[in-house]
């Protein structure tokens, strides 16, 4: 291979063949040992080296933003979600759909039906119960079991009926909880609180003249207090409307002697409607 004038010939690998020969590398080793004897400890190059500079492996790396936690997102506030959904409902049908689609209450998982309401939406009297029982869960309407049959007879005694087309003599019936609690237990304060926005909106849409709350659960929901045996028969105010607490028909079935007080409450309601 031709080489430039004054330049040594390099082999095919770009290496001087003389170095590859035995005498070549023996000479190179002898030169290295001679430099070590002179005190040379490092090989220096043509370019200056900054001994105070840190190597790349020790240089601080740029700060990297920490990734957000990958755990489950924070749980939604059921009361806030219920309040938002209820506020968007401008009709009873819309409210029914909103309640049916509300999935933040555990009671819904074990219930067969979403029990919304029954009766005449134009009625002057709205009856607010506690929660569906077994019969109500199966049929999908409130107060259809033994307690419901007694309720119908009680209000029929003062001329009111859920089947009446006349608002003056009609009833509209609903519950605080639209789903049956397991084993018919009492709803918890948390369950009552998350359904309260729907109850309030329900009452606003029906706009009754009088509300009858039957049992401790509706008293806690609207009046903020419990103790139905103490509260019954004493008129109160909630949502700008008169409220009459009464004992639940299921209690009357277990305690027939309490029917006398319930009759007095019905007469009080009849007098208020007049």
The confidence band for 106, taking pLDDT boundaries of 50, 70 and 90, is very high
- What pLDDT is attached to residue 34? 73
Q: Could you state, in order of their start, the residue ranges of all structural domains in the chain?
A: 78-273
For 116-161, the pLDDT digits (tens) are 999 999 999 999 999 999 999 999 999 999 999 999 999 999 999 9
- pLDDT average, residue stretch 89-111: 96
- What pLDDT is attached to residue 129? 97
The confidence band for 36, taking pLDDT boundaries of 50, 70 and 90, is confident
Decide the pairing of beta strands 171-175 and 117-119. Answer: antiparallel
**CB atoms closer than 10 angstroms to residue 219:** 26
- What pLDDT is attached to residue 76? 77
- What pLDDT is attached to residue 256? 96
Query: Helix (H, G, I), strand (E, B), or coil: what is residue 256?
Result: helix
pTM as predicted: 0.72
**pLDDT above 70 (res 193):** yes
**pLDDT above 70 (res 169):** yes
For 221-264, the pLDDT digits (tens) are 999 999 999 999 999 999 999 999 999 999 999 999 999 999 99
Tell me phi and psi for residue 193, to 5 degrees.
-65, -40
**pLDDT above 50 (res 73):** no
Stronger pLDDT, 238 or 57, i.e. the higher one:
238
Report which of 159, 170, 163 is spatially closest to residue 267, judged by C-alpha positions.
159
CB of 89 within 8 A of CB of 98? yes
The confidence band for 27, taking pLDDT boundaries of 50, 70 and 90, is confident
- pLDDT average, residue stretch 89-104: 97
The confidence band for 32, taking pLDDT boundaries of 50, 70 and 90, is confident
Report which of 232, 9, 201, 241 is spatially closest to residue 88, judged by C-alpha positions.
201
Least confident of 43-57, 77-91, 172-186, 245-259: 43-57
CA distances from 114 to 83, 89, 131, 179 (A): 19, 17, 11, 6
Architecture, CATH, for domain 78-273: 3-Layer(aba) Sandwich (3.40)
């Amino acid at each position: 291979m031709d080489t430039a004038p004054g330049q040594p010939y390099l082999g095919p690998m770009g290496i001087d063949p003389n170095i590859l020969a035995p005498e070549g590398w023996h000479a190179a080793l002898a030169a290295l040992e001679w430099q070590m004897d002179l005190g040379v400890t490092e090989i220096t190059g043509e370019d200056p080296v900054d001994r105070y500079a840190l190597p790349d492996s020790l240089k601080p790396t740029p700060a990297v933003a920490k990734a957000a936690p990958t755990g489950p997102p924070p749980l939604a506030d059921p009361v806030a979600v219920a309040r938002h959904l209820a506020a968007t409902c401008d009709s009873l049908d819309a409210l029914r759909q909103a309640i049916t689609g509300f999935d933040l209450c555990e009671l819904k998982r074990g219930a067969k039906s979403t029990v919304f309401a029954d009766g005449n939406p134009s009625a002057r009297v709205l009856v607010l119960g506690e929660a569906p029982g077994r019969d109500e869960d199966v049929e999908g309407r409130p107060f259809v079991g033994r307690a419901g049959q007694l309720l119908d007879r009680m209000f029929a005694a003062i001329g009111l009926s859920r089947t009446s087309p006349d608002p003056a003599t009609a009833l509209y019936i609903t519950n605080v909880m639209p789903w049956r609690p397991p084993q018919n237990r009492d709803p918890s304060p948390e369950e009552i609180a998350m359904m309260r926005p729907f109850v309030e909106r329900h009452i606003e849409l029906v706009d009754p003249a009088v509300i009858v709350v039957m049992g401790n659960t509706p008293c806690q929901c609207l009046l903020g207090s419990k103790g139905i045996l103490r509260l019954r028969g004493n008129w109160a105010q909630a949502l700008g409307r008169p409220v009459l607490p009464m004992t639940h028909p299921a209690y009357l079935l277990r305690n027939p002697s309490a029917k006398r007080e319930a009759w007095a409450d019905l007469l009080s309601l009849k007098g208020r409607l007049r």
